[in-house]
Chains A and B, each alone.
Chain A
Amino acid sequence: MGNSGSSNKISAQDRAILDMKNQRDKLHQYQKKITVITARETEIARKCLRNGDKTKALLALRRKKYQESLLSKTDAQLAQLEILTQDVEFALVQKDVVFGLQQGTKVLKEIHKEMGGLEAVEKLMGEGEEARAYQREISEMLGGAMSNQDEDEVEDELDALEAEVSGIKMPDAPTQKLPENEVSREDNAKERARRRREEANGQAAEPMLA
């Protein structure tokens, strides 16, 4: 019974469709037959007329006419059969679509369930907001504590920029006094560091006094 698995793929609907299509094929064959007959009757009528047998020719043409009426009738039946077949096939497609929609909805619902509902998401968002606020606080706290060297570098850069901006009108830099400048800048740095230290101490001391 190795065949049973594959023959399961043929449903009752498939068989019904096959029946309809077979019926359609039979009509097709019938039409072919009638077409041949009408052609033959015309031929007979022509031959009879040539022989001067008018009544026989008339009879043949009458038979032909009758066959032609059959042909148009089968045409109508064929059309009906084809419409029905197509309706059934389309209904099957629709069934597939509905099934697909069902599956999709089911999956979507399951995913929602896994996410734990609206309240859980709300809670999650709240927690996220809290965590971010906390992080901001920490950053602010840490933000003040920049090393002296960093501050120096920042301020130096600012000085350099200022010099650059305003220095456009001063084409010749005093090249000869460079060593002196270096020293004074170092002095400057030391001076600023000292000042800042004092400031920081003063700030830290104030709350204690208050």
Chain B
Amino acid sequence: MDPPTTTTSSDPPPSNLTDLTPHYTFPPFFTLQPNLTTRASQLSSWSTLIQSYARSSHLFSLSLLDALDSPLFHNKALGRRLSARDARVVVDWMASSEGGGRAEWKNRFYIFYRRPEEWAEVVEAWVERTGQKGTVLTLYELTESDAVSGEEFCGMPGELLGRCLGVLVKRGRAQVFGEGGGEGVKFLR
């Protein structure tokens, strides 16, 4: 797993957090509200904020422990932070069907600002656009090589990539083969 410091050290400045949602400067936003209606809308706002944050800082997953100190959950200017328990509630809600399955707990929290099947479409569109249908690609090259350096899925964790390729395989659009860390994928015409 990644060293625990990655999330905080590699965080870009939170200049855009306020732009992402106006709630970010609203102190009560950092305490989960007991009123059920308020709470529901608060949870959905948090979900949107986390997704936008993950997207703009190109994060595929969060470690809750690190994220609690990051600007996402800790508004230093306001002197407010989301407690560990509340953050957990928020992410659990995102993972639930009610929250649209926008997160998933697997050692870390995967934040799906795109769900695996949506990622699958992004990857497939790239393959189509670059004329690589019918070509054999390694999974490594799909996320790490120079060819994808400007793409949104660059640096995607292998686990997530595996899942979105699984979606494509199920649809008959790709074939994954090879074994032992040297898997490749062939996108079918």
Contact = CB atoms under 8 A, between A and B. Distances in A.
Genuine A/B complex: yes
Q: What is the size category of the interface that chain B forms with chain A?
A: 10 to 19
Contacts of A29: 140
Interface stretch (A11-19, A42-50, A180-188, A196-204): A11-19
* Binding site secondary structure of chain A: helix
Contacts of A18: 136, 138, 177-178, 182, 184
Interface stretch (A20-28, A58-66, A133-141): A20-28
Interface in B77-105: none
Contacts of A24: 138, 141
Contact of A14 (B140, B144, B172, B186): B186
B11 to A, nearest CB: 22
Contacts, number: 48
A36 to B, nearest CB: 15
Most chain A C-beta atoms within 10 Å of own C-beta, residue among B135, B138, B145, B188: B138
Interface of A: 6-7, 9-10, 14-15, 17-19, 21-22, 24-25, 28-29, 89
A9 B138 CA distance: 16
B172 A15 contact: no
Given A9-B175, A14-B177, 15 more contacts: A6-B172, A9-B186, A10-B177, A17-B136, A18-B138, A19-B182, A21-B136, A22-B138, A22-B178, A22-B184, A24-B141, A25-B140, A25-B141, A25-B144, A28-B145
Contacts of B177: 7, 10, 14-15, 18
B160 interface: no
Contact of B184 (A6, A7, A9, A21): A21
A29 B188 CA distance: 28
